[in-house]
Amino acid sequence: MKVDTMRRIDHLAGVPLCWLASGLLRLVGGGGKPGPGARPSKVLFIELSEMGSTILADPAMQKLKRERNVELFFAIFAKNAPSLHLLDTVPRENIFTIREDSLWHLLLDTLAFLRWTRRTGIDSVIDLELFSRYTALLTGLSGAVNRVGFHAFHNEGLYRGEMLTHRVAYNPHQHIAKNFIALVNALLSDREELPYSKTRVGDEEIVLRKVTIDPARQEAMREKIRSIHPVWRPESQRLVLVNPNASELLPQRRWMPERYVALMRLILERFPDVVILITGAPSEREEAEALRTQVGNDERCINFAGQLQLGELPVLYSIATLMVTNDSGPGHFSAITELPTFVLFGPETPALYGSLGNSTPIYAGLACSPCVSAANHRKTPCSDNVCLQVIEPQQVFDTLRPVLENRLQ
């Protein structure tokens, strides 16, 4: 389904359903503060739509495992499930996927989810979504005794009913990874709070784990690149990755294609030992080919879109010199490696959604930015993303150039 269609369904059906579900929970005694014996042991996280958020939530999941040794579960849209495999914090058999390609599949999988949570014995649910009514319903009707999530209180947030046992105040002035930690702190709290969570979350708590890549996998990746571009010489030519795409959830995050073309030309002209790989999903291969053609350097600019599965990306990142990307999933996926990553921000802010890795945000910070937030369901009226248009290729080149120059020394 299209994103706007899902938003309309979430509003038109979500409001009355959240109201009805809240009343039902009150009738059956499912609301209020959990009583004794509600110590978490099987904890389900829900984050459906953003693959990058599965990476940003990992420090919160690690804290819960470390402090309570709980069994972790996760619910996510089926197309986004591979993002959970990058760190494998949640066992794959504990991941429940929901299809969102049609309303029929969504309804079927919702009913299956409600059976699964009861059959599995889920006792605690942490809703990571920011004011999604659909996930509020999944959380409220899950059968779990502990139900943790963000609550609007007196803010201008979206109505999500009264189904949470631990109502956490979303903090729009702190990084989202710290907000996720606050949800875990609420579940771990031994006293009732209004609102949760009256705790400090330090920068040291959102340090992300790094993956170790086997050298054999790195060599296999080099062979894969050579199979597509036989003239590449890995012993003397460095790889620069360019990800010009962003999800349909917020197309305003895309830097203009002609700016990417200009940036790639600058890199190739200044650094003759660099080969550029344009990355992306299989559906983005045609767009990547158009960019490659405009760059006009067949020897050192390669269309690599659609060549890898998501789980192979960390291997590619481990052999590359740097990456330039829009504010999208790859900017977070690279955070589990040491790859220097340069992320272009526009309608969102790196202060709240910046990568937890070796990342440099490039952000104009206009008076209207950021224009999307939890309060507006990440729906902006803007169709003219000046916040990205004012970022010039020369500015981006000057920002990343020291990394390429340092590697020459």
Domains assigned to the chain: 3-206 (3.40.50.2000), 215-406 (3.40.50.2000)
In 171-280, where does DSSP find H-type helix?
Answer: 176-188, 215-228, 257-270
Q: Closest by alpha carbon to 393, among 188, 183, 170, 242? A: 242
Give the separation between CA 62 and CA 68, rounded to whole angstroms.
10
The answer to whether residue 8 scores a pLDDT higher than 90 is: no
36: confidence class by pLDDT, cuts 50, 70, 90: very low
Give the separation between CA 348 and CA 111, rounded to whole angstroms.
34
Q: Calculate the average pLDDT of the chain.
A: 90
**402 token code pair:** 């020291």
Cβ(64)–Cβ(70) under 8 Å?
Answer: yes
Cβ(174)–Cβ(147) under 8 Å?
Answer: no
Global pTM value: 0.91
The answer to whether residue 212 scores a pLDDT higher than 80 is: yes
Q: Helices 14-28 and 3-12 sit at what angle, rounded to 10 degrees?
A: 50
The answer to whether residue 1 scores a pLDDT higher than 80 is: no
Percentage of residues of the chain with pLDDT beyond 70: 94
**pLDDT per position as a tens digit, 143-198:** 999 999 999 888 766 788 899 999 999 998 999 999 999 999 999 998 888 899 89
Give mean pLDDT, residues 381-406.
Answer: 92
Q: Closest by alpha carbon to 165, among 311, 38, 31, 297? A: 31
Q: How many helices (H) and strands (E) does the chain have?
A: 15, 12
Q: Can you give the pLDDT at residue 249?
A: 66
Q: Closest by alpha carbon to 81, among 113, 59, 50? A: 50
408: confidence class by pLDDT, cuts 50, 70, 90: low
